[in-house]
């Protein structure tokens, strides 16, 4: 078996100017290597994004304009990033579609998405209704993350989470099988999200639909619902139904004791 910990792994993490990966610019970069011989080797740098950092972003990661005026741009770090990718047997990112898109938009070559190990996918499959933010996952696995939204610490925490998942049997202990399974799981999650949004999650171990949000998060919607849950679903349709997908809204109506929505085609 070719486990993660028996190979050379590198995790890449970014801090950015915004939440939209199509427009966000890098203002912090973390690269952490792990090998059986040397253990963890962590590097983190501030990056000049080439534009002002919004106050909302600074509140998240603490990086401000005056901190990046005299630091390098992301393009000047291109060779160092490529060197780490070439060194590694496995590249990891937490929420890989975001960081990979940000870096590719900065003209930094990245491996194909299916070749990047992303523990967030495993988290969403193994515990579909639990928070999937890195800090929440670290707490579940007993991993200390003292500086969340610090690119270097987040990158190391991602590696530690992946190793813990592998040890717990939550991801395959063979890299090729793990990446193949991840591709399948990502596709399943995308289909589910398109149909249900974040309001309903699928437990793929049972095939059951679960309530994905709110004070009754995790309720098995395939089982008889007590009156208070039915009343809660009715309230959800009334108050936030416009933000639900058609499938979710109709499911909640049915479970709450009402008819499914019917509208004219045109």
**Domain count for the chain:** 2
Q: How confident is the model over 78-106, as a mean pLDDT?
A: 97
Question: Does 263 map to a domain?
Answer: no
> Taking 50 as the threshold, does the pLDDT of residue 107 lie above it?
yes
Question: Does 53 map to a domain?
Answer: yes
The neighbour count for residue 225, using CB atoms within 10 Å, is 19
> Taking 60 as the threshold, does the pLDDT of residue 266 lie above it?
no
217 lies in the same domain as 155:
no
Cα-based distances in Å from 206 to 126, 131, 203? 12, 20, 6
Q: How confident is the model over 144-166, as a mean pLDDT?
A: 90
120 lies in the same domain as 42:
yes
pLDDT at 167: 94
pLDDT at 12: 98
> Taking 50 as the threshold, does the pLDDT of residue 265 lie above it?
no
pTM of the predicted model as reported, rounded to 2 decimal places: 0.89
Question: Does 248 map to a domain?
Answer: yes
209 lies in the same domain as 136:
no
pLDDT at 145: 86
The predicted-structure confidence for 118-137, as pLDDT tens digits, reads as follows 999 999 999 998 889 999 99
Question: Does 265 map to a domain?
Answer: no
114 lies in the same domain as 230:
no
Give pairs for 192-199: CB < 8 Å, separation 24+.
Answer: 194/245, 195/245, 195/247, 196/245, 196/247, 196/248, 197/243, 197/244, 197/245, 197/248, 199/236, 199/244, 199/245, 199/248, 199/252
CA distance 28 to 67: 11
Give the CATH number, domain containing residue 141: 3.30.420.10
55 lies in the same domain as 118:
yes
31 lies in the same domain as 74:
yes
Q: How confident is the model over 201-207, as a mean pLDDT?
A: 92
pLDDT at 146: 77
CA distance 53 to 25: 9
Higher pLDDT, 262 or 238: 238
Q: What is the domain range of residue 219? A: 200-255
Q: How confident is the model over 87-96, as a mean pLDDT?
A: 97
158 lies in the same domain as 239:
no
Q: How confident is the model over 214-227, as a mean pLDDT?
A: 94
Among residues 69, 84, 94, 74, the alpha carbon closest in space to that of 24 is found at 74
Among residues 152, 153, 149, 157, the alpha carbon closest in space to that of 45 is found at 152
157 lies in the same domain as 212:
no
58 phi, psi to nearest 5 deg: -60, -35
Domain C-terminal end among 173, 208, 232: 173
112 lies in the same domain as 218:
no
């Amino acid at each position: 078996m070719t486990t993660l910990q028996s190979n050379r792994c590198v995790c890449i993490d970014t801090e950015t100017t915004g939440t939209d990966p199509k427009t966000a610019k890098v203002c912090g970069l973390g690269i952490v290597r792990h090998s059986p011989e040397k253990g963890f080797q962590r590097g983190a740098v501030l990056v000049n994004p080439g534009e002002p950092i919004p106050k909302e972003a600074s509140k998240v990661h603490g990086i401000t304009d005056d901190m990046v005026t005299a630091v390098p741009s992301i393009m000047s770090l291109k060779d160092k990033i490529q060197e780490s990718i070439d060194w590694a047997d496995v590249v990891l990112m937490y929420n890989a579609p975001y960081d990979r898109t940000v870096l590719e938009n900065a003209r930094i070559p990245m491996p194909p998405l299916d070749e990047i190990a992303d523990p967030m996918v495993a988290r969403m499959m193994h515990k579909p209704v639990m928070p999937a933010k890195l800090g929440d996952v670290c707490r579940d696995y007993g991993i200390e993350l003292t500086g969340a939204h610090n690119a270097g610490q987040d990158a190391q925490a991602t590696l530690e989470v992946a190793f813990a998942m592998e040890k717990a049997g939550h991801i395959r202990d063979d890299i090729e099988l793990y990446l193949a399974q991840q591709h399948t799981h990502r596709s399943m999650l995308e289909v589910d999200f398109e149909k249900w949004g974040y309001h309903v999650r699928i437990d793929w171990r049972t095939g059951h639909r679960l309530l994905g949000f709110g004070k009754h998060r995790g309720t098995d919607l395939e089982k008889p619902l007590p009156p208070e849950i039915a009343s809660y679903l009715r309230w959800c349709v009334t108050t936030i139904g416009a933000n639900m997908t058609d499938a979710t809204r109709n499911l909640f109506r049915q479970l709450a004791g009402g008819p499914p929505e019917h509208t004219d085609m045109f």
